[in-house]
Amino acid sequence: MNNPPVIGVLALQGDVREHLIALASADAVARPVRRPEELAEVDALVIPGGESTTMSKLAVLFGMLEPLRERVRAGMPVYGTCAGMIMLADKLLGGREDQETLGGIDMIVRRNAFGRQNESFEASIEFAGIADGPVEGVFIRAPWVESVGAAAEVLATYDGHTVAVRQGNVLATSFHPELTGDHRVHAYFVDMVRAGS
């Protein structure tokens, strides 16, 4: 892919603007995605942090759930942070019974595993495949990965818990790299998109 990849940010709820900035700094064309026709125009997608139950309800309301699932199944590169990680899980612990996910990574994710809003924290995370030292992770009501299947690769852990996973074209982190000004995780994802094109 010689031209910059066009990467959407699911703009139903959450920290959309920060992802748009981080993607642009990693030499991608970034645009918000709210509708199926906008999803059809992007090469890849970021699912931001936010509130995962609200996000899944809005995806249904906006007619996005099935188009998202279809693109993920078809191999579109996707990166989910925090609530986005929850959306990409095949199985969920601590979610509402009616909570929908997209799937994409063979993992079991526990919602709010690191605690409530007032227990949010930052930590340095060693991230496989990213050079120049650890990345700074912002954990806000963050999930963690309880277990992964054979096809999924653990890229980072914190305090004994898996916090970054990749399976093929799908990447997920429990933390928010977009809030730190360090855009290496986004650059890693943009490289994934370029390699898969």
- The catalytically annotated residue of 18, 178, 183, 186 is 178
Q: For residues 20 and 180, give the distance between their C-alpha atoms in angstroms, rounded to a whole number.
A: 14
Residue 97 has pLDDT above 80, yes or no: no
- The catalytically annotated residue of 82, 100, 136, 186 is 82
Residue 178 annotated among the catalytic residues of the structure: yes
SS3 for 178? helix
Q: Which of 12-21, 35-44, 110-119 has the lowest mean pLDDT?
A: 110-119
Model pTM score: 0.93
No. of H helices and E strands in the chain?
6, 12
Residue 95 has pLDDT above 70, yes or no: no
Residue 161 annotated among the catalytic residues of the structure: no
Mean pLDDT of the chain: 91
Q: Which DSSP category does 63 fall into?
A: T
pLDDT score for 2: 67
Q: Are 170 and 188 in contact (CB under 8 A)?
A: no
Q: Which of 25-39, 69-83, 99-113, 152-166 has the lowest mean pLDDT?
A: 99-113
Per-residue buried b or exposed e for 76-105, using 16+ beta carbons within 10 Å of the residue's own CB: bbbbbbbbbbbbbbbebeebeeebbbbbbb
| 35-85: pLDDT as tens digits | 999 999 999 999 998 887 888 888 888 999 999 999 999 999 999 999 899
Q: Which of 6-10, 99-103, 134-138, 188-192 has the lowest mean pLDDT?
A: 99-103
- The catalytically annotated residue of 18, 19, 100, 176 is 176
